[in-house]
Amino acid sequence: MAHYLVKSNGKEFDIVVKKSGDSFCVVVDGREQTVQFSSSGKSKSVMLVDCCSHEISINSNGYDNSRLVTVGGIEVELEIDNFRLAQLKKAAGNSNSQAASKKIKAPMPGLVLEVKVSSGEKVESGQTILVIEAMKMENAIKSSAAVVVKNVAVSKGQSVEKGDLLIEFE
Amino acid sequence: MAHYLVKSNGKEFDIVVKKSGDSFCVVVDGREQTVQFSSSGKSKSVMLVDCCSHEISINSNGYDNSRLVTVGGIEVELEIDNFRLAQLKKAAGNSNSQAASKKIKAPMPGLVLEVKVSSGEKVESGQTILVIEAMKMENAIKSSAAVVVKNVAVSKGQSVEKGDLLIEFE
Amino acid sequence: MSKPIKKILIANRGEIAVRIIRACKELGITSVAVFSSADRSACHVAMADEAYFIGEAPSAESYLVQNKIIETAKQCNADAIHPGYGFLAENAGFARLCNNEKIIFIGPKAETIELLGDKIQARKKAIEAGLPVLPGEEIDVSNASEALAKAKSIGFPVLIKAIAGGGGKGMRVADSAENFNESLIRASSEAKSAFGDGRVFIEKFLENPRHIEFQILCDAHGQAVHLGERECSIQRRHQKLIEESPSPVMTPELRKNMGEAALKIARASNYIGAGTVEFMVDSDMSFYFLEVNTRLQVEHPVTEMVTAIDLVKEQIAIAENKTLSFSQDDISCSGHAIECRISAEDPRQGFVPSTGTIQDYRMPSGPGVRLDSGVESGSEISVYYDPLFAKLIVWGKDRSEAISRMKRALEEFRISGLKTTIGFHRIVMENENFVSGNFSTKFIETEYPNYEFETADDKTIETAAIAAAIDRFKNESRINLQNGKSSRASISSWSLYHRQRNMKKFTGSR
Amino acid sequence: MSKPIKKILIANRGEIAVRIIRACKELGITSVAVFSSADRSACHVAMADEAYFIGEAPSAESYLVQNKIIETAKQCNADAIHPGYGFLAENAGFARLCNNEKIIFIGPKAETIELLGDKIQARKKAIEAGLPVLPGEEIDVSNASEALAKAKSIGFPVLIKAIAGGGGKGMRVADSAENFNESLIRASSEAKSAFGDGRVFIEKFLENPRHIEFQILCDAHGQAVHLGERECSIQRRHQKLIEESPSPVMTPELRKNMGEAALKIARASNYIGAGTVEFMVDSDMSFYFLEVNTRLQVEHPVTEMVTAIDLVKEQIAIAENKTLSFSQDDISCSGHAIECRISAEDPRQGFVPSTGTIQDYRMPSGPGVRLDSGVESGSEISVYYDPLFAKLIVWGKDRSEAISRMKRALEEFRISGLKTTIGFHRIVMENENFVSGNFSTKFIETEYPNYEFETADDKTIETAAIAAAIDRFKNESRINLQNGKSSRASISSWSLYHRQRNMKKFTGSR
């Protein structure tokens, strides 16, 4: 038996998994369901939840907690954690997630066409911060909130790879 | 530079391969051709022989000499050998191939429905030796030459796997 | 009054189950798959909305277990069962069982299946309805001398056929009195194992006939139409390999006559649903009733391609008690369609079944190409079921374009991991007699006696040889680099020779 | 007199090169691919009969180098060059160069491309030919105040368009005087980088127009026909995403009028070949000439599906100087076709391009489904070229069946390794306003402001959570078995916690 806490898109699922013959008995937030899980070639599996069929593929890297699960072609990103461990983390006030991402990274490889802000500048939500050209199209990178620019990591004419730091906010 | 002897279906090719920049210079039975070879995902490659395009996949197992090469979807089985080595083998009168295959093996998994010959029996070319049921069809296994049966390795009603010995000839 | 169907259990597997699930999805009908232990991760299970385990791999323990399927249909509240082809598709008992359990059987009524499934009765009905038939009669397998006498009175060659048969199983030709008895026993035993009924009958065997069949659709309100013919003469051991529509020898007049004949037997047997009336056509273009297949055929897509009518959706509409939305005059055929059956068989080894796991699976596509497939990369082809796993269908504005397009599509198709009939179809598409339309059901045995043909020409073999040489050169260069040697010339031939001999011991390869 | 073409060099890559190679194969014409260093093992190279390297990955160093392509065509003795769309397809200079070198350019004459490629001249020609146009004029980007005055006299909103443009590049809407100048500069700079020509003009911008275009075919002997319309209103930043034929708002009368208008401008510009006449249609169904695209369009397959006419083969026949084999009266459209463009973009991140290697690639298929694709499992999608890599096209007997079929096909499509627009198309197919046919070119911005939409519903997220839990359970069981432990309960949560923390250090994951 194992007990997990799965988070996705603001939702939490309390999931208990037990082996039950060839199948699994899965209790999701108190509701018990019978699940059959058959792997086929490569990363694909067929999962029957109380006989409802789903084509599944799961991309994970061992014990790392984030997963990209594809259900019938629809991608769902989620975090899975041992339930007790998740409780311990919560108790310990783990605040990793809040600390993160006051940075804008390049969403694609390309060429920086324009940088429209500088350090210390206040930007409004929706304001264009810089313009990147990729695949022959100009892409405006906009701010998603009202913030103050701490550091501009790139300059006009520079080539960037996907994931390169562009701008940091305060 | 390397020098090979390739055999397929009774044909022999004397092939010299040299690296030439990004390409290869290949001399086949004295004719020189320029070959570009690009591997793409998995086992597939695109091979341009003097700019004629071929989609290639090659199944091999390291140093073993037999290859199943697929050219634009058409399968070709062949043997490749180091040229000097092939000459040495010839000189040594290597007779492996002649010694082989006085046996009939199951061409598919199935059920032996009937055995129509017994040890010591003479069979004609084209005579039905046994009948195997597979995939709901009865398949008559016939002799490809006039031979004498040495040993019948299966009996009626027996299940066989692909490659199981069925009959040995003298 | 029509009653909408909301949930269909598909009592089948493979490409035809996938075909039916696709129709259900497009109609907004919930699809229910059933599966054996060999099919837990099969395409039809993954694609259906729901899926239920019904038993072990052998079909007698799963796909043929009527009670289990009925029980599953009741458990999941299915309104209807679609049997596909094969398995229970032409089993009158199963149709009756569905009826008793108030589940709609998507197919003709049990009585119709029973009547037409019995070849002797169907033949009688056809004669009554005024259809031309070949001389023939039922025989008693246990009475060899009487059987032989009957065969002689018809005149050799004769065709021995299972009375309960279909799909080429339990069918044998006897050329002469000498091989009559063995063929009779073989046909009867195959019939017994395939249909649980060893009865056979014999019929005059035409020397160079064409097999031409008509697709019919009949609603429950007395409307009946035909959707033109399919030419199915390219067969191997009475199993169709390539089908097309229209037939290269069809004339408007013959089509009218044969189509009317098809509708006559349909009406005489109170036919409801989709069905196929099969005929033999002699070289003088006279035609003879053969049998009625009371189900969807493997080759139904060629008719769909030329008529733009979706036969599975029409079957469902008829089962919903709807009236046909078109009359005979509304049906027009345009262009030309060809289907090649793609099976897990090795044509060069006499079409022996080939099993294994499909590695690469690259489907052909583009203009005018349709693939009905029940597998994908990673699928297992097991020994338990029919080796047919996909059907490649093309449409062209005329037969010539359809052939060119089929060639192109076959060239694009890639399957690795097992042997298939793709290469064989490529050869047939180049065959002069096929291209000219000049062929009969003897095509395969005449053109490819002993299945001797070469898929690879000299140029292709040379190209393969070059590829193997370059591949080995690259591997050796890599190994030498790994060993810190700058050139493979430093390995003597003798050491290579010994290394190879040692490798062989480990790999066990010949 | 017609002169048969025996060898065609395809001066393009990706899905359109594959599309043209397929036509060549079916016609028995030798196909020649050209490729950059990024495309050495691309599909179009593998499929063509011959292939020649023409330069480095950036298109300015390969697919756009006219002399290199001409030189290759001469080297391999190609009779003709097919430019596809994009790259050199609408380059009059290149068409002229082909002509000078006695290589057939498969497209209109250089003068026609030149005339219609210049939006200002094309507009004048349309007015002369009696086509309705929107108010508009050319402006001088360097004279900001004069430009603004002109914009004001037309009245905001105005559309700023590259004179040399196409494909939505160098196109911007200015709502008001405030954002006019920035939009002008952005449009002009994009035009300069895309077409080497920064000239722009402005035009009255309709508030809720539809984009409807007519496919035309004109031979060199004065015959000209139209093949009905394509509805292309579902656009994002002036790039089409979904196209269909017929338009849900078309009437036979409007089709006749617009079709005649399309043929008028074709005749006035001595058009030879396949082309597209684009119109804006206002909510009152009045229509205005927009431009002529002097090439095969991305969305040509929807026309092929409803007319059963192969446009690439017709282009080749026209280039061979043949007369059209059909007249306007012979053309009939049946059923309904829809195309979804499948691009390597992440719709939820504002459609940013996504690059990478395609891992799994499972194509949809079955009845009424066509996929025009330029990739397969293992293909690289690089930053160098257009993110469009495949087009999914379906045919249905009516719009409703076509939408259901598109949903079904999109559900079957699997691509892993990068983000695509498949999920977005699945959402659009469920959108009420799309389904009802009630939309304009503002559809995307109105329905999905800021591209906010959820591909996964609650049920799907729960299913994913269960799958993740079972997958992890199975992995942990396996690891425990390997460690010789019978149950994972023996690992304390604290040790798991520390183990995970340590793992994170190594994997570097967040």
Interhelix angle C110-117/C119-128, nearest 10 degrees: 100
Residue B170 confidence class, pLDDT cut points 50, 70, 90: confident
pLDDT of residue C486: 44
Query: Does one domain contain both A109 and A87?
Result: no
Query: Does one domain contain both A87 and A108?
Result: no
pLDDT of residue D495: 45
- Pick left, alpha or beta for residue B31 (phi over 0 → left; psi -120 to 50 → alpha; otherwise beta): beta
**Measured between alpha carbons, how far is D479 from D474 in angstroms, rounded to an integer?**
9
Chain B residues with beta carbon closer than 8 angstroms to that of C468 = 4, 6, 58, 60, 67, 69, 78, 80
Q: Is C492 exposed, middle or buried (0-12, 13-18, 19+ CB in 10 A)?
A: exposed
Query: Does one domain contain both C264 and C297?
Result: yes
Length of chain C: 510
Domain membership flag for residue B98: no
Residue A115 pairs with which residues in a beta bridge?
A130
Query: Does one domain contain both C216 and C314?
Result: yes
Query: Under a CB-based contact definition with an 8 Å cutoff, are residues A120 and A167 in contact?
Result: no
Domain membership flag for residue C36: yes
Residue in A with minimal Cα distance to C53: A51
Query: Does one domain contain both B59 and B108?
Result: no
Domain membership flag for residue C2: no
Domain membership flag for residue B39: yes
Query: Under a CB-based contact definition with an 8 Å cutoff, are residues D294 and D107 in contact?
Result: yes
Amino acid at position C436, single letter: S
Query: Does one domain contain both A81 and A108?
Result: no
Residues with Cβ within 8 Å of B5's Cβ and at least 6 positions away in sequence, in order, are: B12, B13, B14, B15, B80, B81, B82, B83, B86, B87
Provide the domain count of chain A: 2
- With contact defined as 3+ CB pairs under 8 Å, the chains touching C are A, B, D
Chain C residues with beta carbon closer than 8 angstroms to that of D20 = none
Q: Which two tokens stand for residue C333?
A: 């055929």
Domain membership flag for residue A98: no
Q: Which two tokens stand for residue C242?
A: 């390539």
**Measured between alpha carbons, how far is D434 from D446 in angstroms, rounded to an integer?**
12
Query: Does one domain contain both C481 and C499?
Result: yes
pLDDT of residue D31: 98
Query: Does one domain contain both B78 and B152?
Result: no
Query: Does one domain contain both C321 and C374?
Result: no
Question: Any long-range contacts for D101-104 (C-beta under 8 Å, 24+ apart)?
Answer: D101/D70, D101/D73, D101/D74, D103/D70, D103/D73, D103/D74, D103/D78, D103/D79, D104/D5, D104/D79, D104/D80, D104/D319
**Measured between alpha carbons, how far is C41 from C25 in angstroms, rounded to an integer?**
19
- Looking at C344-487, which runs of residues are DSSP E strands? 345-346, 352-353, 356-357, 361-362, 369-373, 380-381, 388-396, 414-415
Chain A residues with beta carbon closer than 8 angstroms to that of D383 = 108-110, 134-135
Query: Does one domain contain both A128 and A87?
Result: no
Query: Does one domain contain both D437 and D492?
Result: no
ipTM of the complex: 0.86
Domain membership flag for residue C111: no
**Measured between alpha carbons, how far is C102 from C90 in angstroms, rounded to an integer?**
19
pLDDT digits (tens, 9 = 90+) for A14-62: 999 999 998 999 999 999 999 999 987 667 899 999 999 999 999 875 5
Interhelix angle C110-117/C92-100, nearest 10 degrees: 170
Domain membership flag for residue B97: no
pLDDT of residue C503: 40
Q: Do C469 and B15 touch (CB under 8 A)?
A: yes
Query: Does one domain contain both D258 and D284?
Result: yes
**Measured between alpha carbons, how far is D354 from D343 in angstroms, rounded to an integer?**
9
Residue A95 has pLDDT above 50, yes or no: no
Chain D residues with beta carbon closer than 8 angstroms to that of C360 = 377
**Measured between alpha carbons, how far is D239 from C293 in angstroms, rounded to an integer?**
51
Query: Does one domain contain both C330 and C343?
Result: no
pLDDT per position in chain D (510 positions), as tens?
A: 788 999 999 999 999 999 999 999 999 999 999 999 999 999 999 999 999 999 999 999 999 999 999 999 999 999 999 999 999 999 999 999 999 999 999 999 999 999 999 888 999 999 999 999 999 888 888 898 999 999 999 999 999 988 887 667 788 889 999 999 989 998 898 888 888 888 999 999 898 999 999 999 999 999 999 999 999 999 998 899 999 999 999 999 999 999 999 999 999 999 999 999 999 999 999 999 999 999 999 999 999 999 999 999 999 999 999 999 999 999 999 999 999 999 999 998 889 999 999 999 999 999 999 999 999 999 999 999 999 999 999 999 999 999 999 999 999 999 999 999 999 999 999 999 999 999 999 999 999 988 888 889 999 999 999 999 999 999 888 777 666 544 444 344 444 444 444 443 333 333
pLDDT digits (tens, 9 = 90+) for C64-85: 999 999 999 999 999 999 999 9
Query: Does one domain contain both C379 and C441?
Result: yes
Q: Which two tokens stand for residue B19?
A: 């690296």
Query: Does one domain contain both D213 and D328?
Result: yes
Query: Does one domain contain both A86 and A130?
Result: no
Question: Which of B17, B64, B74 comes nearest C509 by C-beta?
Answer: B64
- Assign D345 to helix, strand or coil: strand
How close is the nearest chain D Cα to the Cα of A169, in Å? 19
**C-alpha distances in angstroms, C29 versus A51, A54, C313?**
17, 17, 11
Domain membership flag for residue C214: yes
Domain around C491: 458-503
Q: Do D466 and A65 touch (CB under 8 A)?
A: no
Q: Which two tokens stand for residue C487?
A: 């050139």
Q: Which two tokens stand for residue C423?
A: 């290469």
Among candidate residues D449, D470, D492, the one where a domain is terminated: D449
Active-site choice (D13, D210, D295, D370):
D295
Low-confidence residues of chain C, pLDDT below 70?
A: 166-167, 481-510
What DSSP character marks residue D21? H
Among candidate residues D287, D313, D334, the one where a domain is terminated: D334
Query: Under a CB-based contact definition with an 8 Å cutoff, are residues D10 and D297 in contact?
Result: no
Q: Is there an interface between B and D (3+ Cβ pairs < 8 A)?
A: yes
How close is the nearest chain C Cα to the Cα of B141, in Å? 10
DSSP notation for D436-460: HT---TTHHHHHSGGG---SS-HHH
Q: Is there an interface between A and B (3+ Cβ pairs < 8 A)?
A: no
Chain B residues with beta carbon closer than 8 angstroms to that of D40 = 36, 38, 46
Query: Does one domain contain both A12 and A86?
Result: yes
Higher pLDDT, A157 or A80: A80
CA nearest neighbour of C330 among C346, C308, C349, C351: C308
Domain membership flag for residue A109: yes
Higher pLDDT, A20 or B42: A20
- The answer to whether A38 faces chain C, any CB pair under 8 Å, is yes
User: Residue B142 belongs to a domain with what CATH number?
Assistant: 2.40.50.100
Query: Does one domain contain both D272 and D365?
Result: no
Domain membership flag for residue D111: no
Cβ-Cβ contacts under 8 Å between B and D: the total is 46
Domain membership flag for residue B96: no
**Measured between alpha carbons, how far is C104 from C11 in angstroms, rounded to an integer?**
13
Q: What is the mean pLDDT of chain B?
A: 83
Q: Do B75 and C463 touch (CB under 8 A)?
A: no
Domain membership flag for residue A38: yes
Domain membership flag for residue D116: no
Query: Does one domain contain both B13 and B69?
Result: yes
Query: Does one domain contain both A82 and A8?
Result: yes
Best D389, D422, D462 residue to mutate vs chain A (most A CBs within 10 Å): D462
Query: Does one domain contain both A10 and A86?
Result: yes
User: Which residues of C are annotated as catalytic?
Assistant: 295
CA nearest neighbour of A152 among A124, A125, A130: A130
Provide the domain count of chain C: 5
Domain around A154: 103-169
DSSP notation for C46-58: HHSSEEEEEE-SS
User: Residue A75 belongs to a domain with what CATH number?
Assistant: 3.30.700.30
Query: Does one domain contain both B140 and B161?
Result: yes
Segments in D76-176 forming alpha helices (H)? 92-100, 110-117, 119-128, 144-154
Domain membership flag for residue A97: no
Instruction: Give the predicted TM-score (pTM) of the model.
Output: 0.87
Q: Do B135 and C499 touch (CB under 8 A)?
A: no
pLDDT of residue A38: 94
Domain membership flag for residue D145: yes
Phi, psi of C108 (to 5 degrees): -65, 170
